[in-house]
Each structure stands twice: as structure tokens, then as C-alpha cells.
Amino acid sequence: MVCVVSRTGRELQRYDQGRRLVVGCIPYRYKSGSDGSIKDELEVLVISSKKGQGMMFPKGGWETDESVEEAASRESLEEAGVLGKVGCELGQWSFMSKRYGTFYEGYMFPLLVKEQLDLWPEKDERQRIWMDVAEAREVCQHWWMKEALDVLVRRLTTLPRHPQEDVL
């Protein structure tokens, strides 16, 4: 059973030296061919912002009752409706919130997608689109998420992979 309600509120939010801590994921998969074979083509999942102004990767507040990896997984479920395996941290970025005019600390992780849900908490508030890396880099509205995507691509192109684990 999967949670069908997004967490709301700031009561459990983590802060470090006055900066809100946020966690995000880059959901990814490898395309499969029409014959069922696994291709080397990487796809990433981007989502629309709630206001519909631009695309990004799932991200949100890291709360005090969860690990950073649990927060990353939760945000991917709530915002993009995907479940999978959270990988090693891609990095940490400081960025200015356009909405609040304050600095945040953002942690990004890869998420190898194992399941894509038809229903998820923010289904009616967001669109999700699988695309290749070049397209995602072009449409992503946050510079720090683009940098995280570059880290992910470098990591995936230098490490050996196990194809049986990579298909949705």
C-alpha cells in the first residue's frame, strides 16, 4: 500500500544555520527496446512545478522524522509517482529561493525507478514527462538540479551497470 497524501506544513522541517534543508531525486531508467532488450539510452523523469511555470526534478523539505534517503524517496513518490532505489548522494548545493528570498541547502540523489504509479498524491497538481538527458537539461529551471544531472550522467557513464536491475 502506498501513501496517497502529501505531507504539508513546516513543523517537522530541518534547518541548518537558518537555511531550510531540501532533498531531491533525479528519477531515471534505461529505455527498453520493442523486443524487450535493454538499450543504453538513459531517460530521466521531470515534473512540472505546482504553478506550472517550468520543469524540474522532484524535491521538497527534509523532515526531522526521516533520513535524507527516505526524504528523497518520499518526494519522488509524492510529486512524480515513482518508486525505486535511491543511490548515493550526487551532491549538495546552496541556492536562493526565488519565492522566499532566502538560502536553502539542497541535497540531490539518483533514483533508479522500479515502479511508476498510475495514482500518486500530486497527480492532479503536476505533469510528469520522461525525456532524454539533453532535453531535461534544457527544460529544467534550476541551475543546481542541472549540475546534479551532470554528476549523475558522469557517474552512470563511468560505472559498470547490471542491465537486469535497470528496467522499469
Q: What is the count of structural domains for the chain?
A: 1
Domain harbouring 68, CATH code = 3.90.79.10
Q: Provide the residue range defining the domain that includes 116.
A: 15-158
For residue 9, being part of any structural domain is answered with: no
* 163 occurs within a structural domain: no
Q: Is residue 5 part of a domain?
A: no
Q: What pLDDT sits at residue 168?
A: 40
Q: Are 80 and 126 in contact (CB under 8 A)?
A: yes
Can you give the pTM of this predicted structure?
A: 0.85
111, part of any domain: yes
Residue 41's pLDDT is: 87
Is the Cα dihedral 29, 30, 33, 36 positive or negative?
A: negative
Q: What is the pLDDT of residue 10?
A: 64
Does 29 fall in a domain? yes
Query: What three-state secondary structure class fits 34?
Result: coil
Q: Distance between CA 168 and CA 117 in Å, rounded?
A: 11
The full length of the chain comes to: 168
* pLDDT tens digit at each of 168 positions of the chain: 455 555 555 678 899 998 999 999 999 999 877 776 667 789 999 999 987 678 999 999 999 999 999 999 999 999 999 999 999 999 999 998 877 778 999 999 999 999 999 999 999 999 999 999 999 999 999 999 999 999 999 999 887 665 545 444
Number of Cα atoms under 13 Å in the Cβ half of residue 5: 3
Tell me if 165 is assigned to some domain. no
State whether residue 25 is helix, strand or coil: strand
pLDDT at 35: 72
Domain annotation covers residue 7: no
pLDDT at 2 (0 to 100):
52
167 located within any domain? no
- Please give the pLDDT value at position 97: 81
What would the DSSP string read from start to end of 99-168? TT--EEEEEEEEEEEEEE-SS-TTTTT--EEEEEHHHHHHHB--HHHHHHHHHHHHHHHHS---GGGS--
Give the pLDDT of residue 31: 83
